[in-house]
Chain A
């Protein structure tokens, strides 16, 4: 007659209460993790895209020296570097590991390129990653650079 709750019943109740608390807590943490992820992927994508713009500018500068009013029809040369940067108005290129710090984030990237079969341009691939509190976030960007130059006359 005096029977109360058994140890098993207590354990089940405790399990249900803990599970519901953990699910609530997990949802809240997941929201914040998605914020961090969105922010860091945004920064990484911007860095990779700025590298692509550097390559376009580098190509324009290279083509400029052999420019004539009738335009350029030579084949696009391959880039023999992995990293491109910019400091004091000058492009800096190098091989090996490419590292960059933006704010408090360390970003690594690498540029690879291959000449297209018909020799009308080069395919450029820029792979990058950053190490965040969520682990390693990676992104890749690819495009084709041609020896395009306007013929305005």
Chain B
């Protein structure tokens, strides 16, 4: 009260104010920038982070190359061996750099293996060959495709089983939630990988078995996170409003929950992918993964590490591709996380 009294009394006449033209009045209320949807915001934030964008481009490129190669590299090209070209190092036309010109270091000296084995002059293998004389570059591309298929399948199961399980558990709540949470608790304290390895021994090793194994073991984290988020969303006012207006649960889930869950889902998916790729590589490494004639990055790595001392390129090339793939997915995941949740980007 006292303060009010201290304020100077302004004496205003009636014409001290001037009416604004109608249209201008409206525009002052307007927000200066264009109105942006949530996704547009995410996109803008995502674009700001170079590492995320570059990773995204790399991932897309790898997907395009791996899957685009299908008409050229298939099972029958993989089966074909040319033992006369076995274990040749990389030789790229026009490049004269030791290691990429058909030479390999043997006992401290660079030796031209192509010349030594009387390989025709116009024969090039840009990433060298394996022990049966098959082009390593082709095998890496094919291996990448298999690794990506494994990854995408894992992502698919994450999205279906994981998301649905999480949403139902969180939305229904009560007894249903309780039971579903107990199940998850038990399933996730089983060392899944161990069970999966056993499963692979019982089933015929191969892509199908690995996919089943991944389906079983990959969805829990997603389900947990989605459930937690659903629990908090469920009590948000707009959801309450929709419920009290009598919207069906299905519609609420599709219209309100899923869009709001999208950030968590996308981020989690991005983290599932590298671990699925790693998982496949691991299985192939211990010898129960993809079986010949098909190949994967894991199979190539396993083959390569055996010969590392003499033919280091046989491990380096697939290892680099695998690492780039993993790093790209990880960074893409980080980029997306920061874009969806600006608080995390500091």
Note whether A and B form a binding pair: no
Which A residues are within 8 Å of any B CB, using their own CB? none
